Amino acid sequence: MRIGGAEVQGIVRHFEEIDDTRSEVNRRHLLVDVIVISILGVIAGADGPLAIALWAKMQEPWLREHLALPNGTPSRHTIARVLQSLKPTAFQQCFAAWLASLHESSSDVETEQEEKPLRQIALDGKCLRRSHAHGRGLGAMYLVSAWATEQGIALGQLAVEEKSNEITAIPQLLDQLDLADAVVTIDAAGCQRNIADEIVAGDGDYVLALKGNQETLHRDVTELFATLLQNDFGDTPVSRHEEHEQSHGRVEDRYYYQIAVPTDFPQRDKWTGLRTFGLAIRRSVSNGKETLDHRYYISSLSRHGRRFANCVRGHWSIENKLHWVLDMTFREDESRVRERRLADNLGWLRRLSLTLLKQHPGKQSIAMKRRMSGWNVNFLMQVLTGKAT
């Protein structure tokens, strides 16, 4: 198969080896053609098989310059069947290899004097609210995502049927990730001993939010900080960090405290790698009304106030820079796809598209970049490479 265009060829190279599980009877379209069209279509604004097929039909002359297309562009039904047949794990691994190749070719060589930024991986689940099918006994599906906070890159995803299933999904997702020298942050649902075990076993560190699901530990840590705060920590060594912001009539102050786990703390030895407890206090004043929020954390990191604050703030980015954008720009919450594997793979296409749009150096918003990708194939190629011309 002869394919032109370095950008499209790069995608093809990483997806040519993926298993094609379709029957050979009446197989009219190459698997890699359908995958490439799906990737490009979602970046360019398509939100499902029908929109992808319509986009491909309108761009058929251009696509023929780069893809084989032995029988023209695929129909919506073909696209849906292909995306439903692909194993999500294999699909994501191909994307990971492709993204890695893009970064290898575009990254500058680092000098020994440069300080490497903290590599933080945030894990969190998101509900696809309209993916339910009550007639088939299916509730809304949840997608648990892994997000590299500093780079704005989607690293992996796992679909689960219930929010409570996140606890079993997180270890499976961690198995797919390179955790070496990374800090993994998870909300309270992931504050589990087996999850801490797996992160440390993968040569990573953790910062886990602590709430009532770990009742005894949460109570003991809350009481410990309450006692220490009364005396401004007294003789207890503490790392501190403060942040203050004021905008649009709202004042927000954030105070971070991190202490080493006391040697006589009752549950110290039950958590692999446990070294520190953290407290984040957020005080907000808006329209004369004050709110105060206390959040507690356990961590395998040593004391470092600014680093702890960065981990807490960085974890919020999975909500603000991933989930919120998926809903507002990609309209993910409005997706009515009920077939689980199809919904899973479409969800990953959206996350992959968002990753590529974020890597593009243009100053436009994500929504505008997506529109521009649909308007102009040259801009679409820029998004694929992360380079503006």
Per-domain residue ranges of the chain: 6-86+351-385, 120-328
Gap between the Cα atoms of 215 and 315, Å rounded: 23
Tell me the percentage of the chain whose pLDDT exceeds 70: 93
Gap between the Cα atoms of 184 and 174, Å rounded: 9
pTM of the model: 0.85
In this model, does residue 388 exceed pLDDT 90?
no
Give 389's pLDDT tier (boundaries 50, 70, 90).
low
pLDDT at position 111: 38
Q: By the 8 A CB rule, do 350 and 128 touch?
A: no
Helices then strands, each counted (H, E), the chain: 14, 9
pLDDT at position 230: 95
Q: Which of 365, 368, 359, 357 is nearest to 40 (CA)?
A: 357
pLDDT at position 104: 61
Q: By the 8 A CB rule, do 189 and 125 touch?
A: yes
Mean pLDDT throughout 331-346? 87
Digit-coded pLDDT (tens) for 61-98:
999 998 999 999 999 999 999 999 998 888 888 888 87
| pLDDT mean across residues, the chain | 88
Task: Write 68-74 long-range contacts (CB < 8 A, 24+).
Answer: 68/1, 68/2, 68/3, 68/30, 68/33, 69/29, 69/30, 69/33, 70/28, 70/29, 70/30, 71/28, 71/29, 73/37, 74/28, 74/29, 74/33, 74/34, 74/37
Give 20's pLDDT tier (boundaries 50, 70, 90).
confident
Q: By the 8 A CB rule, do 193 and 269 touch?
A: no
Partner residues linked to 158 by β-bridges: 144
Pairing of β 205-210 and β 120-128: unpaired
Single-letter code of the amino acid located at 214: Q
Single-letter code of the amino acid located at 207: V
